[in-house]
């Protein structure tokens, strides 16, 4: 049964006439009459008594009106609740990303999010497995090379430059290459390291799928590696082996499903992510121009 047809019952009962209901619903009187007739035929009963003075509800019409008014109330409550979700930055937001992004970049900025949006509950899903936003495994994802799927929207949030680092005071020529392994061959740091290995015909004694673990391994002198500059550039225990120009620039993007993109809590968290990551790494194009 079509809710739009039931609205004609509601407005005819309130106006007492086809013409009044038609004006309220923005249609002509003929359309209003046709819709009412079709509904009565579908229900196999008359909802109104027609007379020269107007339309009066039958017993069946009175019973129908009770339910139609309840439906109208439910629709209004639904609109109010959806409006509250769209306008109020509160509720659960799950973000999927790499562990080092949370550990080194986002976790230190959590107090600023809590102060500004005390009603938001943030869940960090720290792994490299692709999370389905369409199936509600997460509301947001922060990824580099991983493409959007289905209806997901994606946009760049920050550019992150990479350079080669080693532990200070250790001859880099004595250190093996260590680095990325995501078991896909599609990620830029992994491809970069494989190219180095082919050129130098050298084994790689340690790999990890998280830059934070690689960073810790470099800090203890386990090897030299390509690292995000935002992790390594200010560490006094490390020395940069690359030249001034980054070896690699990766573009970190936000993925979000359009069904939740307009929610106030989602836009609030995206704004916080952008401000936090830009503060740590610079504007999106600054690393590219370094």
From the centroid of its chain, how far is CA 118? 19
Considering the domain architecture, whether residues 20 and 143 belong to the same structural domain is answered as: no
| Angle at which helices 18-25 and 3-15 cross, to 10° | 130
Each residue's pLDDT tens digit, 90-128: 888 999 999 999 999 999 999 999 999 999 999 999 876
Considering the domain architecture, whether residues 40 and 149 belong to the same structural domain is answered as: no
pTM of the model: 0.69
Task: Please answer whether residues 180 and 207 qualify as being in contact, where contact means their C-beta atoms are separated by less than 8 angstroms.
Answer: yes
Instruction: Tell which wins on pLDDT, 76 or 229.
Output: 229
Considering the domain architecture, whether residues 73 and 118 belong to the same structural domain is answered as: no
Each residue's pLDDT tens digit, 201-241: 578 899 998 999 999 999 999 999 999 999 999 999 999 99
Task: Tell me the torsion sign for CA atoms 113, 114, 120, 125.
Answer: positive
Residues sharing a CB contact under 8 Å with residue 251, sequence separation 6 or more, in sequence order: 144, 156, 158, 159, 160, 284
DSSP letter at 187? S
d(CA 121, CA 119): 7
Q: What is the CATH number of the domain that holds 45?
A: 1.10.10.10
Range(s) of the domain holding residue 238: 159-249
Considering the domain architecture, whether residues 66 and 83 belong to the same structural domain is answered as: yes
pLDDT of residue 8: 87
Domain count of the chain? Answer: 3
Each residue's pLDDT tens digit, 170-199: 999 999 999 987 655 568 898 888 887 776
């Amino acid at each position: 049964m079509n809710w739009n047809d039931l609205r004609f019952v509601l407005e005819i009962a309130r106006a007492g006439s086809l013409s009044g209901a038609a004006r309220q619903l923005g249609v002509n009187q003929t359309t209003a009459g046709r819709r009412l007739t079709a509904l009565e035929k579908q229900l196999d009963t008359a909802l109104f008594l027609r007379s020269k003075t107007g339309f009066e509800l039958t017993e069946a019409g009175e019973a129908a009106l009770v339910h139609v008014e309840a439906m109208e109330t439910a629709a209004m409550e639904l609109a109010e609740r959806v409006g509250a979700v769209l306008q109020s930055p509160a509720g659960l937001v799950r973000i999927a990303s790499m562990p080092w992004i949370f550990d080194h970049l986002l976790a230190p900025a959590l107090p600023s999010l809590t102060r500004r949006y005390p009603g938001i509950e943030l869940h960090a899903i720290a792994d490299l497995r692709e999370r389905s936003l369409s199936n509600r495994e997460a509301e947001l994802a922060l990824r580099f090379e991983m493409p959007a799927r289905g209806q997901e929207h994606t946009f760049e949030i920050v550019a992150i430059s990479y350079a080669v680092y080693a532990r200070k005071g250790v001859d880099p020529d004595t250190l093996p290459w260590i680095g990325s392994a995501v078991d896909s061959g599609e990620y830029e740091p992994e491809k970069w390291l494989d190219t180095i290995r082919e050129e130098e015909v050298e084994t790689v004694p340690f790999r990890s799928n998280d830059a934070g673990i690689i960073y810790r391994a470099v800090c203890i002198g386990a090897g030299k590696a390509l690292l995000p500059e935002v992790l390594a550039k200010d560490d006094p225990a490390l020395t940069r082996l690359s030249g001034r120009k980054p070896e690699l620039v990766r573009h970190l993007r936000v993925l979000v499903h359009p069904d939740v993109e307009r929610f106030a809590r989602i836009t609030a968290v995206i704004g916080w992510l952008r401000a936090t990551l830009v503060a740590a790494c610079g504007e999106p194009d600054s690393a590219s121009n370094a």
